[in-house]
Amino acid sequence: SAPQNFYAEVGGAPVFHGIVHRFYEQVAEDEILRPLYPEEDLGPAEDRLRMFLEQYWGGPRTYSDQRGHPRLRMRHMPFKVGPIERDAWLRCMKVAVDEADLDEQHRAQLWHYMQYAAASMVNSDF
């Protein structure tokens, strides 16, 4: 699991806000991912991903206070997540992680996690 000091080391809330906001700017323009999101407003989905990542990396536990146990694989079952969706998600996240103000060790650690997490969310062979 994540080192509990990562959140503080990289600069806390503003850094996580920035990464997740940039990710959702990409999602909004993505022809594979955008149709998966049931809501017209991506803001609430952005908040949930941000809160989850903040918690995972040792920040505030607001995600679980509001949403309970993450159970992310289960929560993604309503959406078809095949290799194409996984790659689209990672393509959007790569932009966000590359543009974030992180030192190279933290960037590599975060990117490694994103690839692992995206692979673990796949629930379809096609």
Q: Does 76 bind ligand HEM (CB under 6 A)?
A: yes
Nearest approach, Cβ of residue 111 and ligand HEM (Å): 12
Binding test (CB under 6 A) with ligand HEM, winner from 72, 74, 77, 84: 72
State yes or no: residue 100 binds ligand HEM (CB under 6 A). no
Q: What is the DSSP string of 20-89?
A: HHHHHHHHHT-TTTGGG--SS--HHHHHHHHHHHHHHTTS--HHHHHH-S--HHHHTTTS---HHHHHHH
Contact 6, 109 (CB under 8 A): yes
| Given 10, 20, 86, 106, the residue binding ligand HEM (CB under 6 A) | 86
The residue among 75, 88, 102 whose CA lies nearest residue 19 is 102
Position 45 contacts ligand HEM (CB under 6 A) = yes
List the one residue from 49, 97, 102, 110 that touches ligand HEM (CB under 6 A): 49
| Residue 71 main-chain phi, psi, to 5 deg | 40, 55
Query: What does the binding site for ligand HEM look like in residue numbers (CB under 6 A)?
Result: 33, 36-37, 39, 44-45, 48-49, 52, 67, 72, 75-76, 79, 81, 85-86, 89, 117-118, 121
